[in-house]
Every structure is written in structure tokens, then in C-alpha cells.
């Protein structure tokens, strides 16, 4: 079969990254501006001589090619792929049209070389798109900034000032192109925050791997993901082992090893290895799809600052028109009127604010903070009261063994921990995992035991050295196992008063000992509280369902302004509503299902990374990392973008007012006004596009 070729190859580069007998993995790169049709590339590679199968991976930009070694080899295939022609219809992408700019420049440079009778028609032809746009705007919206620009060009043409008219047309075309490019770039920053999922997914059907359209995959399917592939579903690993880069979803740069039982998220990348994953969330229900949806919504949602800037720009258009008329009446000089009409406030005011917000949202996303629209940043910047849920927010939400109390001298505290861990290691429960973790920190002695029995909501039981061992709740020990604990009531009550969770260990029908566990304060919580105060927080409070003594201890340790303890879920929403009524602008930070009403009722809700789905969906801001310091980072980013918007606002009004005044006084020609106005507008937009870093190291 003839292999399609091009004088200019479709691919910019092709290299071999791995080879085996009969198999090669190639990495490719499309030239800039060329549509990346990966499916087409896969089809064309399949047509090469000796190729038996091809698997393309768009995200890793790789082709895994299986071939007949008797017919071809790896290097021949690399060369064949490097000269492939694109499928018909593939053309370079053009994000912004440069045609009007080029035409306007040609008109500006060439008109002076034409005979005088041709200068008017050529200049008029060059300005026609602008004049047509102005006429349409006038019919539909009345006097707008485009109408003012059209009037300025028409005045210059009417006075036979072709240089001024063509310069204005060129500068407006250049300015519009730059503005469009900058606005598009701010959108692209957000759209590329997450990798798009593949349109096709490998699924295990009756023991055979089949490539199916993503839309056909349902909950319960077994999805196969190999090296270089982006995980397309949320689910649990059934088999295999792989290192997974979760930076796109969590912001964490260190890859994580996933094995049987591990949870995986869509949008994360398998760097090495192979996994079979049970699909629990597919399509639009996956975490990546929900985040992508938030991103899309953010591109169209308008903040109050953006709406106010737009309203002000519209209100100032009649003022500019009146100033142009007044300057002409006083001076009788049409050049002054044309100069004034060149300078308006509209472009910079209307574009700089959304560009700044989108740029800040992208920067926040890269720092592990998902902001669901510009209004969320705006509200966070104005928040003066920060209210934290306790567990999983200010605390780690992970229990750790703090005390091992033994009632038998033959067993040391470490022995007690290891004995409990020997039977608990088979049980995937937070308490069990905490005990196993504590055992690893000791001499880690292992006690041989018989088969472990799991008693749901109670604990575990087994047999060690012929004696029954039980590990679990007080109720399990006392009621089900008839073990008397009354002789140790004082120790038990003391540990309960300290706000600790207790595990009771019974052995041979006697209470052998107690393990006390407690949630720990995050090491960065205190520093986060201090930073929030520096960033403008007037009050920082805590809400919790925990005991009052424990809550008071935590609030004192972190330097909080107050707390509410022993709360029911509905109490949190009630307290938020009461403080809202008092005028507080509240940022609430939580992670549980019971936090959803409070998150929804706050001025701005922030959900922790390990929070319940409903909490993350309800919140205005969702953290992509399990780090409470990201809350202060989000506040810092919000303050920075609002400061940038205010700076740009003042610069827009100040610079354009100065240009208008100089034009009205006859100090600027139409050409100079056009250059200054468009130049300052582009400068302000570029300033708005600057990304302020959202991440700052928190020091304890």
C-alpha cells in the first residue's frame, strides 16, 4: 500500500522512546497551529507496511506500534510516521484573524503612493468594515464606542486627511486583534487547567479488552488504563499497580502508587504501570467533568466589579461625544473633534476586569485552589469573618494513638499496640489503620492468630495462644463479650474527658488494656490563622460538634476569637444565618455532608479537598489539596486580583481622561490620539493578564 507523504510533514518531530522485538513506542509532536487529530494519526500509522496494531495516547503524545519484525523495524516505522500526510480537511488553526490588521497596514503604507483620485476610494474600502460595524451598533444600541470610532474615521475621510483616517483604522484593527488575543488567552488558560478525557476508553468485556466510545461506559464497567493514559473515570483499583500523577486534580507534584483497593480520580495521569479500575463515576459525574463544568461556567459568569466597569464604560460614551462636539464648537477644528472621538474608556474598562479574574483563577487552580467564578474571588476579597469547621479542617481528620494503657504487667504499652494491630491489620477502618500505623512505630512485634472475625460497627475478634482476643467499642466489650470494665472507670473517664476515642482490648475474658486515639491539629493551622488576620480577617471562629473542653483547648492553641461546640448539623447553618443578619461577610470552611447548608449560606463557602461530594459541589471554592493553608492562599489571591483591578481601573480612567483632555485642547492629532489610546489599552490588558502567584509557604 502506498504510504501518504507531504513535502511539509504533518508532524514536527517523531522519536523512539522504547522498543522491543515487534513493538515500539514513539513520541510525536504536532507543529504549532496544526490541528492535533490523534485518531487520524492512529489510522494512518496503521496503514504503514508491516504494522499490525497501533494504540495512540493523546495526553502522552505517544504511539505504541506493534509490527511484524520480518517486514519492518522500529527505525523504518519512525521515518514512515514522520512523513505522514494529514487526513483531508486538516488545516492550521487560526485562533485570531490577522487579515484585517494586514489589510489596514497595507492601506496605510500604500495610500500615499497612489494617485490622488484613488486615495479616497482605497481609504474608504479599508475603513468600510469599521464603518459598517459602527452603523450596525448605532441601529442596535445607539451611540457606543464603536460609533465614536466610526465618526472619527468618517471626519478624517471627509477632510481628505487620509493618513489620519488610515492610521486610525490600522490602530483600531491592531488594538482589536490584541484585545481579542488577550481575551482568548485568558480563556485558554482556564480551559487547559485540566486535561480533557479521551473520547475512547479501553474496557474489559468477557475477559477481552475492547476500545469503546467514552459515552458507552457505565458504572460497574472495568476500565483498563496503561502507561501514559489519563484516567477517564472515578473508581477503585481492582488489580494492577501504577504510579499516578494527580497534579491536575490535587496540585500535588509527587506521584502516588496505586494498587488494589486504591481510589483513583478522573483527569489524573498514569505515569508507569497498568490498572484495572472499577468505574464508580463516569461521564459528567466524574470529578474532572464537574471541575471542567465549573471552569466553563466561570468563562461566562460576570462579577459585580465587571458589571460595574461595563456600566461605567457605557455611561461615559455620551460624555465623550459631548466633549467632541464642544471642542469643535469652541475651536471650529474638525481635527480636535476627530481626536476626541478616538479616545474612549470602553475597551480597557470592559475587558481588563474579566481578563484579570480569569488569569487569577488560572493561577489559583495551578496552586491547588478551584475557584468557581469571578464572584467567588470578589466575595472572598471582601470577607471579614472566617469560620472553620474543626474536624478535617483545622485538624487533620486522621486519628492517631496517643495512649496505650495496659492492665496486665506481662504486657507493655508497645505489646498492647502490637497485639491489637495483629488482628486489626486485616480491617480497613480509620481506627484500625491508626493502630497499625502506631505498631509500625514500635518494635512491631507480630502475634500469630487464627482467622479474624469482623463484627460490623463493633470491632474484631480472633484467637491468640488459645485465648479469645477482642478489640472494639466499650459496648462490644461490655455487652457482647461480658467483660467487666468497672474496675478501671477512673482511667476510662479521664481519657474520655480529654476528648479521646477509646478502643478496648479484651483477652481471655478480661480487660487487657485501652488504646486512646485523638485527631491532631494540622501543623499549619496556627500559621494559617495568623496569615488570615494579616490579610484582613477581623474575626476567626470555629464550629464543632465536639465536646466543649476539647473545642476550647483547640481554640486557645490556635488563637481563635471564639468557638461554638456540641453543635448539631442544623446549628451551623443557624449560626451562619444569624451572623449574616448582623452584617458579617463570612467565609465558611468545611468538609462534611453536614457542612453543606453552612457552605451554601455563607458569603463564600470553601470546601476542603477530602470533603464530601455535596460539600465540594455546594462550595464557591474547592481546595484541590488537603492543606488548610490553601485557604489563606485563596484569600491572598482574591485580595491581589481585586487590588490589580482597582489599579487598572484608576489607570484606565486617568490615562484616558488625560488623552481626552489633551485631544480637546488640540495638543494631540488624531494619529497621536489613536496611537496613545490603543497603546495604553493594550498595556492595561497585558497588566490584567499577569498571574499573581496564589501559593505562599506557610511557616509554623
Show which residues are catalytic. 389
3-state class (DSSP) for residue 24: strand
CA separation, residue 240 to residues 204, 233, 272, 334 (Å): 14, 16, 11, 78
The neighbour count for residue 272, using CB atoms within 10 Å, is 14
Residue in the block written with cell 488548610: 628
Name the residue among 23, 19, 61 with its Cα closest to residue 42.
61
8 A C-beta contact, residue 692 and residue 641: yes
E strands, 84-230, are 200-205, 208-213, 222-226
Q: Strands 208-213 and 539-543, how do they pair? A: unpaired
8 A C-beta contact, residue 353 and residue 688: yes
8 A C-beta contact, residue 152 and residue 677: no
Signed CA dihedral, 575, 580, 583, 585: sign only: positive
Cα–Cα–Cα angle for 162, 167, 172, rounded to 5 degrees: 130
Write the CB contacts of 12 (distance below 8 Å, at least 6 apart in sequence): 29, 30, 31, 32
How are strands ordered across the β-sheet holding 621-623?
Answer: 369-371, 621-623, 604-607, 586-590, 385-389, 539-543, 562-564
Q: How far is CA 204 from the centre of its chain?
A: 31
**310 CB-contact burial (10 Å; exposed 0-12 / middle 13-18 / buried 19+):** middle
CA separation, residue 8 to residues 82, 84, 86, 386 (Å): 10, 9, 10, 59
Name the residue among 157, 80, 81, 97 with its Cα closest to residue 126.
157
Residue 26 and residue 179: Cα distance in Å, rounded?
A: 39
Residue 208 and residue 241: Cα distance in Å, rounded?
A: 19
**617 CB-contact burial (10 Å; exposed 0-12 / middle 13-18 / buried 19+):** middle
Q: How far is CA 214 from the centre of its chain?
A: 23
8 A C-beta contact, residue 430 and residue 516: no
3-state class (DSSP) for residue 360: helix
Cα–Cα–Cα angle for 516, 520, 522, rounded to 5 degrees: 170
8 A C-beta contact, residue 125 and residue 169: no
8 A C-beta contact, residue 369 and residue 694: yes
Write the CB contacts of 17 (distance below 8 Å, at least 6 apart in sequence): 25, 26, 27, 62
Q: How far is CA 87 from the centre of its chain?
A: 34
8 A C-beta contact, residue 363 and residue 346: no
Residue 370 and residue 377: Cα distance in Å, rounded?
A: 11
E strands, 522-668, are 539-543, 562-564, 586-590, 604-607, 621-623
Amino acid at each position: 500500500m502506498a504510504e501518504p507523504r507531504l513535502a511539509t510533514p504533518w508532524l514536527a518531530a517523531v522519536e523512539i522512546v522504547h522498543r522491543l522485538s515487534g513493538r515500539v513506542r514513539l513520541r510525536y509532536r504536532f507543529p504549532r497551529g496544526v490541528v492535533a487529530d490523534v485518531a487520524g494519526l492512529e489510522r494512518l500509522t496503521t496503514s504503514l507496511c508491516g504494522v499490525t496494531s497501533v494504540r495512540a495516547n493523546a495526553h502522552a503524545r505517544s504511539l505504541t506500534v506493534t509490527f511484524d519484525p520480518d517486514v519492518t523495524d522500529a527505525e523504518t516505522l519512525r521515518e514512515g510516521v514522520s512523513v505522514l500526510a494529514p487526513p483531508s480537511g486538516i488545516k492550521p488553526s487560526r485562533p485570531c484573524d490577522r487579515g484585517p490588521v494586514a489589510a489596514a497596514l497595507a492601506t496605510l503604507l500604500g495610500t500615499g503612493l497612489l494617485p490622488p483620485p484613488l486615495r479616497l476610494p482605497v481609504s474608504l474600502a479599508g475603513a468600510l468594515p469599521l464603518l459598517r460595524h459602527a452603523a450596525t451598533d448605532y441601529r442596535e444600541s445607539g451611540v457606543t464606542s464603536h460609533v465614536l470610532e466610526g465618526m472619527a474615521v468618517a471626519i478624517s475621510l471627509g477632510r481628505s486627511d487620509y493618513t489620519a483616517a488610515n492610521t486610525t483604522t490600522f490602530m483600531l484593527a491592531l488594538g482589536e486583534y490584541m484585545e481579542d488575543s488577550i481575551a482568548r488567552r485568558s480563556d485558554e488558560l482556564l480551559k487547559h487547567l485540566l486535561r480533557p478525557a479521551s473520547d475512547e476508553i479501553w474496557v474489559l468485556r468477557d475477559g477481552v479488552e475492547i476500545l469503546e466510545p467514552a459515552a458507552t461506559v457505565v458504572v460497574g464497567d472495568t476500565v483498563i488504563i496503561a502507561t501514559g493514559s489519563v484516567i477517564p473515570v472515578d473508581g477503585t483499583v481492582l488489580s494492577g499497580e501504577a504510579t499516578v500523577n494527580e497534579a491536575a486534580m490535587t496540585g500535588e507534584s509527587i506521584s502516588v502508587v496505586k494498587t488494589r483497593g486504591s481510589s483513583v480520580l478522573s483527569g489524573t495521569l498514569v505515569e508507569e504501570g497498568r490498572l484495572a479500575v472499577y468505574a464508580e463515576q463516569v461521564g459528567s459525574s466524574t470529578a474532572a467533568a464537574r471541575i471542567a463544568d465549573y471552569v466553563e461556567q466561570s468563562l461566562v459568569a460576570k462579577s459585580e466589579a465587571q458589571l460595574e466597569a461595563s456600566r461605567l464604560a457605557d455611561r461615559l460614551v455620551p460624555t465623550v461625544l459631548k466633549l467632541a462636539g464642544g471642542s469643535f464648537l469652541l475651536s471650529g477644528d474638525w481635527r480636535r473633534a476627530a481626536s476626541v472621538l478616538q479616545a474612549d474608556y470602553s475597551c480597557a474598562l470592559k475587558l481588563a476586569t474579566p481578563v484579570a479574574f480569569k488569569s487569577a483563577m488560572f493561577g489559583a487552580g495551578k496552586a491547588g485552589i478551584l475557584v468557581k467564578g469571578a464572584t467567588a474571588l470578589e466575595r472572598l476579597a471582601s470577607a471579614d469573618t472566617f469560620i472553620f469547621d474543626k474536624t478535617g479542617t483545622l485538624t487533620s481528620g486522621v486519628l492517631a494513638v496517643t495512649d496505650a494503657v495496659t492492665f496486665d504487667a506481662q504486657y507493655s504499652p508497645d505489646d498492647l499496640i502490637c497485639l491489637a494491630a495483629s488482628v486489626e491489620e486485616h480491617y480497613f477502618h480509620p481506627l484500625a489503620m491508626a493502630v497499625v500505623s502506631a505498631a509500625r512505630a514500635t518494635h512491631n512485634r507480630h502475634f500469630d492468630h487464627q482467622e479474624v472475625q469482623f463484627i460490623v460497627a463493633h470491632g474484631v475478634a480472633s484467637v491468640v495462644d488459645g485465648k479469645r482476643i477482642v478489640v472494639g467499642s466499650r459496648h462490644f466489650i461490655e455487652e457482647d463479650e461480658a467483660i467487666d470494665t468497672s474496675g478501671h472507670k477512673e482511667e476510662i473517664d479521664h481519657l474520655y474527658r480529654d476528648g479521646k476515642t477509646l478502643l478496648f482490648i479484651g483477652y481471655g475474658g478480661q480487660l487487657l488494656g485501652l488504646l486512646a486515639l485523638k485527631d491532631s491539629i494540622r501543623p499549619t493551622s496556627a500559621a494559617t490563622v495568623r496569615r488570615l488576620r494579616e490579610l484582613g480577617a477581623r474575626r476567626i471562629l470555629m464550629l464543632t460538634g465536639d465536646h466543649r473542653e476539647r473545642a476550647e483547648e483547640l481554640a486557645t492553641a490556635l488563637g481563635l476569637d471564639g468557638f461554638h461546640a456540641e453543635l448539631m448539623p442544623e446549628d451551623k447553618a443557624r449560626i451562619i444565618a444569624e451572623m449574616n443578619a448582623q452584617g458579617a461577610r463570612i467565609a465558611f470552611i468545611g468538609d462534611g455532608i453536614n457542612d453543606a447548608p453552612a457552605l451554601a449560606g455563607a458569603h463564600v463557602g470553601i470546601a476542603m479537598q477530602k470533603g464530601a461530594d455535596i460539600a465540594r459541589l455546594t462550595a464557591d471554592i474547592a481546595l484541590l489539596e488537603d492543606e488548610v493553608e490553601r485557604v489563606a492562599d485563596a484569600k491572598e489571591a482574591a485580595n491581589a486580583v481585586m487590588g490589580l483591578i482597582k489599579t487598572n481601573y484608576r489607570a484606565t480612567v486617568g490615562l484616558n481622561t488625560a488623552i481626552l483632555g489633551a485631544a480637546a485642547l488640540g495638543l494631540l492629532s488624531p494619529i497621536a490620539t489613536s496611537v496613545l489610546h490603543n497603546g495604553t489599552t493594550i498595556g492595561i490588558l497585558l497588566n490584567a493578564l499577569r498571574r499573581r502567584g496564589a501559593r505562599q509557604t506557610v511557616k509554623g
